[in-house]
């Protein structure tokens, strides 16, 4: 069964990250130092989150 508004939520969750990245490109391309620093900070945070999600293989 689908909950009301489920498709809207899924679409929003898919579009939001894409839109935020596209909107930051002009600042990065035109060389604003603060935008570059923010971009690097965001990427480092994303890498840290991904590293936390990786678990060691289980030995059976």
pLDDT digits (tens, 9 = 90+) for 2-21: 677 788 888 888 888 888 88
Decide which of 32 and 41 is more confident. Answer: 41
Angle, in degrees to the nearest 10, between helices 33-53 and 6-29: 140
Give the length of the chain: 60
Closest-CA residue to 27 (of 9, 15, 40, 14): 40
pTM of the model: 0.42
pLDDT of residue 2: 65
Element (H, E) at 42: helix 33-53
Instruction: Name the CA dihedral angle for 29, 32, 33, 34, rounded to a multiple of 10 degrees.
Output: -110
Residue 57 has pLDDT above 80, yes or no: no
Average of per-residue pLDDT across 45-59: 80
């Amino acid at each position: 069964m689908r909950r009301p508004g489920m498709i809207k939520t899924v679409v929003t969750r898919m579009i939001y990250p894409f839109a935020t990245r596209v909107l930051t490109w002009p600042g990065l391309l035109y060389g604003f130092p603060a935008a570059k620093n923010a971009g690097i900070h965001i990427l480092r945070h994303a890498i840290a989150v991904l590293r936390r999600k990786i678990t060691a293989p289980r030995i059976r």
